[in-house]
Homo-oligomer: A and B are copies of this chain.
Amino acid sequence: MTQMLPSAFLAAVKDLLGPKGWSEAPETLLAASTPWRGTYQGNTPLIVRPASTTEAAALVKLCGQYGVAMTPQGGNTGLIDGGTPHGEVCVSMTRMNALRETDTFNNSLTIEAGATLVAAQQAAEAAGRLFPLSLGSEGTATIGGLISTNAGGVAVLRYGMMRDLILGLEVVLPSGEVWDGLSGLRKNNTGYDLKHLFAGAEGTLGLITAATLKLFPQVSSATAWVICASADDVVKLLSLVRGRVGDSVTSFEIIPANAVDMVVADIPTARDPMPSNAPWRVLMEVSQTDGAYARTLLESALAAAMEEGLVQDAAIATSEAQAKAFWHIRETIPLSKRAYGAALNQDISVPVSRIPVFIEACNAAVRTVLPTADFVIFGHVGDGNLHYSVVEAQGAAAPQLKDHEGAITRVIYDTVMAHGGSISAEHGVGRLKRDELARLRPPAATQAMRAIKRALDPQGIMNPGRVVSV
């Protein structure tokens, strides 16, 4: 339900932010309330766009004064209904997108929350460095949103998630005070680590306005497309490759044969690099400062894996164009899956060692509910993170997926928990998984989270109802 905004609050906000800093235009409000995937619909009485930390702090203070709830929003590319307002004032951070500082010798840069991931990657590159986070929506997703959701992507295996890539944060607290925790320090043991609390908090504990990010040396990659006969072989392959080339394995993605077929059928520019009847593909990247050595490592690891029977066939990209063609298949799976028809999508993780038994157990469990179910299972196997989708079997008589959505979701979650896994690996909680997680999380953890939320946001004005209900 949309909040009724006190007119004194409205007047004060408009005065504070000026004409560029707010909008009540219905089409703008609608756009801010509609996520890109469009699977839920929010609403908001007002969108505000602070242009500076000072403005953001004054805005939050006004919200506190008038008891007005707000939802911070970056690129609105989230998938768990965390950044879409449902009646709250929408605080769009996109005007705060300045690159504040690059410190090459410290391998760090400070950038505002509304800058896109691509902007951060480009700023790093301009300094002769690498900012390694990489994911599909990088042209739209913002630094603040990526931190707030602790985003993952295709380089987590080597570089970690977004929380691992931040050195410092600037945050407007629910009180309207600014915590200047921007810092280029790699070591700073001076109390509870607040940045790790705001990272992944989905805007429920404060409004992130800027961040200092870690930069890395630039690397060159060698990319392989690998055919495997079983998920068990895929996990063993990962272990063999890491044993031989160390953590210069920067990406290790699993792709099922049916996803390749789907993409090739749906995307005119895609072709199967190596047709095969085997059920699995691995897209693997090995990176070193010396690209030729990366290729040598990759070749020798694959040769050893073939000798051990873990790999049926493999192709190493001979050009950047070919590597991009491999990645194009991986990256268009989500898109072409939608063209394929209805799907129930889950973003889950289990320990890497359990991936083979999990897939078998989960598919069997889903088929007890819907015997005609088919599966598209792909993702970051190196992190134990699978995007697990249930789809209608091709040619199924009548679409039944939606009818069984609740029961299917339940057996998936139960199977994930039985394998020591997580029902939200990288997408987050938001409103979408809040109640399910209150059921599945250890009660002691939920209680601690509620206590923290109440302690830092006693009025409950920061993105209420996301992560935990209080």
Contacts and interface: CB of A to CB of B under 8 A. Distances in A.
Nearest to A458: B451
Contacts of A192: 197, 200-201, 205, 448-449, 452-453, 467
Contact of A216 (B180, B190, B247): B247
A235 interface: yes
A380 B190 CA distance: 18
B106 A468 contact: no
A417 to B, nearest CB: 11
Interface residues on A, range: 35 or more
A70 B427 CA distance: 39
Contacts of A216: 246-247
Interface stretch (A35-43, A330-338, A439-447): A439-447
Interface string A154-190: 0011001101100000000101011111011111111
Given A353-B106, A445-B181, A189 B149 contact: yes
B161 A187 contact: yes
Most buried by B among A156, A185, A289: A185
A399 interface: no
B178 A444 contact: yes
A422 interface: yes
Contacts of A235: 105
Interface string A22-50: 00000000000000000000000000000
Interface of A: 103-108, 128, 149-150, 152, 156-157, 160-161, 163-164, 173, 175, 177-181, 183-194, 196-197, 199-201, 205, 216-219, 235-236, 238-239, 242-247, 287-289, 293, 349-354, 380, 383-385, 420-429, 433, 437, 441-449, 451-456, 467-468
16 contacts: A104-B353, A105-B235, A105-B238, A156-B187, A180-B442, A181-B442, A185-B421, A187-B380, A187-B383, A187-B385, A191-B445, A193-B196, A194-B445, A196-B197, A219-B246, A293-B293
Closest 8 CB pairs of A and B: A196-B196, A105-B353, A455-B455, A184-B351, A187-B425, A451-B455, A188-B422, A106-B351
Given A103-B353, A187-B422, A190-B437, 7 more contacts: A104-B239, A179-B442, A187-B349, A188-B425, A190-B422, A191-B200, A191-B429
